[in-house]
Structure 1
Amino acid sequence: MGIFNVHERELPVPRCTAGALIDSLASAHDPLWPGRDWPPMRFDGPLREGAAGGHGPVRYTVTAYVPGAWVRFTFSGPRGFDGFHEYTAHALGEQRSVLRHTLAMRAHGRARLTWPLAYRPLHDAVLEDSLDRAELACTGTVVRPARWSPYVRLLRRLSGNSPNSSAGTGISAMPPAAER
């Protein structure tokens, strides 16, 4: 089963500003990854080619990194995820850019069921939360904040990541997850 999944957000900032968000991933002051509402992104060292880590049950290695522009993570788990996900920053002009997350993989074995039933809805929700954080970091506001579907809330409850156990996003302008 081939999977191609893209999430992106246009931002009123130069590409280098959007790219700096990528460079902050898994750092102590990461404004991009929503690690207070979702399993945090962690690596065995700083963001660099060869760094191994992941978030929750999703494991990967940094296989390409161009500071300020692109990072690619190649999956090592869960079993059946064969591919990568990446963040990229693209210029749309001097003062506009797009921050994009792309996932491209082949699902096999159990992943043919777990991707559409659990991982995809959770993936889509965490990525929209991430892009909300990017917009907030760049503009100070989020025009249309992401909302979790009832199904995502159920999956989070079943996995022990219920909205009620979260303290919120850690960004004062964003509502606590329990209010989404």
Structure 2
Amino acid sequence: MGVYNVHERVLPVPRAEAGQLIDGLSGGADQLWPRSDWPPMLLDGPLAQGARGGHGPVRYTVAAYVPGQWVRFTFSGPRGFHGFHEYTVHPLDEDRTLLRHTLAMRARGPARFTWPLAFRSFHDAVLEDSMDLAERACTGTVARPSRWSPYVRLLRRFAR
């Protein structure tokens, strides 16, 4: 099963400022990963190619990193996740930047069931929360905050 999933937010800041959000991932001043409501993104060292870690049951290695522009993580777990997820910044003009998160993978074996039944809904919720954090970091507010679906709230209750 092929999976291609994209979350984006236009931020009213220059590319360099949006890129700093990527550079802070998994660090003490991380303003992009929603660690207060979700398992934190943890790496075995600073954000750099070859660093290993993950969030919750999702495990990965930093496959590529261009400071201020792009980071790609390749999956090593859960079983059946074959692909990557990445954050990128794309300048729209001098004062606006598109922040994008892309997940591209093949779900094989048990992931053919776990992705659509649980991981997809969790993924969409955590990424919209991440985009809200990015907007808040750049503007001090969020125009249209994301809301968890009843299904995500139910899954979270079972996950506890």
TM-score of Structure 1 vs Structure 2, range by shorter chain: over 0.9
Q: List aligned pairs for 1:146-157, cutoff 5 A.
A: 146-157=146-157
4+ residue runs over 4 A deviation: none
CA displacement, residues 48-87 of structure 1 (integer Å, 9 cap, x when unaligned): 0000000000000000000000000000000000000000
Say yes or no: does 1:133 pair with 2:133.
yes
Say yes or no: does 1:98 pair with 2:134.
no
Q: Which runs of 5+ in 2 are unaligned?
A: none
CA displacement, residues 13-37 of structure 1 (integer Å, 9 cap, x when unaligned): 0011111000000000111100010
Query: Corresponding residue for 1:168?
Result: none
Query: Corresponding residue for 1:26?
Result: 26
Query: Corresponding residue for 1:63?
Result: 63
Q: Which amino acid aligns with 1:9?
A: R
In terms of fraction of residues, the more strand-rich structure is 2
Identity of aligned residues (%): 74
After TM superposition, the score normalised by the length of structure 2 is 0.99
Q: Which amino acid aligns with 2:44?
A: D
* TM-align CA RMSD: 0.4
Figure out how many residues of one structure are paired with residues of the other and give that number: 160
Query: Corresponding residue for 2:78?
Result: 78
Q: Which runs of 5+ in 1 are unaligned?
A: 161-180
* Per-residue deviation, 1:139: 0.4
Q: Which amino acid aligns with 1:76?
A: S
Q: List aligned pairs for 1:98-177, cutoff 5 A.
A: 98-160=98-160
After TM superposition, the score normalised by the length of structure 1 is 0.88
